[in-house]
Structure 1
Amino acid sequence: MKILLVEDEVLIALEQQLYLESVGHSVVGPAITATEAMELAEADKPDLALVDVHLGMGTNGIDAARGLNALGVPCLFITSFRDELKKDGPLTGIGCLPKPFTESGLLAAVDVARAILAGETPRNVPQTMELFV
């Protein structure tokens, strides 16, 4: 899968990229603002976006996810701020994997998203992952 990282913490983005590329995914980004996420998605349409809630320059991932969804890019939140996803109306996205995450947790969450997008029943859903669909 081609995966867009929407994450303003450089070390976390590098960690995600390392884990994802180690199993054959291609990675776009990271985008550190909602605007940058939209620009990257328009230029190189990803299959999935991994989105943090708090982004750089005062932007937020919830707005980024709404914009990405409008472009047809499904989103999976990877964040420490799960509660904030529920305070701004309907949830946008496939689900949420809370930080801190493990390599196996992140890869399993991406596989769950892949299965849902393919119309399959997901298996091996990480215990800490919350699905919105």
Structure 2
Amino acid sequence: MKILLVEDEVLIALEQQFYLETAGYTVSGPATTAGEAVAIAGDEKPDLALVDVHLGQGSSGIDAARDLAAIGVPSLFITSFRDELKKGGPVAGIGCLPKPFTESGLLAAVDAARAVLAGETPRNVPQTMELFV
């Protein structure tokens, strides 16, 4: 599975990348803005994007998720700003895993997203994760 990181905090992106690559995922990014996310996704064709709500240069992860969905890339939000996801109506995303996350929580959330995308019932969903589908 190819995963695009959409995160402007370098240390968090490196942590995500380490956990995911150690588990065998192919990782691209991190994209730090919505525009950069769409550009990387157009080139890399990821299976899933992990998206923070607040991105660099005042960019919105919610907008990034909508733009990514328009080109066929589903998103899973990884953010401290879960409440902001509910402000503007339906969100273009599979769900949300709040920060801070653990390695096992991140990997379980990605596996739950993979199951949803495959039309399966997710198992081992982290307690803090909210699925939107």
TM-score w.r.t. the length of structure 1 is 0.99
* Structure 1 portions without partners, runs of 5+: none
Name the CA distance, whole Å, in 2 between partners of 1:95 and 1:112: 9
**RMSD, aligned α-carbons:** 0.4
> What one-letter code is carried by the residue in structure 2 that aligns with 1:29?
G
Q: 1:92 deviation in Å?
A: 1.4
User: Helix, strand or coil for the counterpart of 2:49?
Assistant: strand
> What one-letter code is carried by the residue in structure 2 that aligns with 1:104?
S
User: Helix, strand or coil for the counterpart of 2:53?
Assistant: coil
The alignment status of 1:76 with 2:76, answered yes or no, reads yes
Show the 5 A alignment for 1:38-57: 38-57=38-57
- Aligned residue in 1 for 2:126: 126
The runs of at least 4 aligned residues of structure 1 exceeding 4 Å deviation read none
- Alignment identity in percent? 80
- Aligned residue in 2 for 1:101: 101
- Aligned residue in 2 for 1:29: 29
Q: 1:44 deviation in Å?
A: 0.9
Q: 1:33 deviation in Å?
A: 0.4
CA deviation string 1:75-98 (max 9, x = no partner)? 000000000001012121000000
* Structure 2 portions without partners, runs of 5+: none
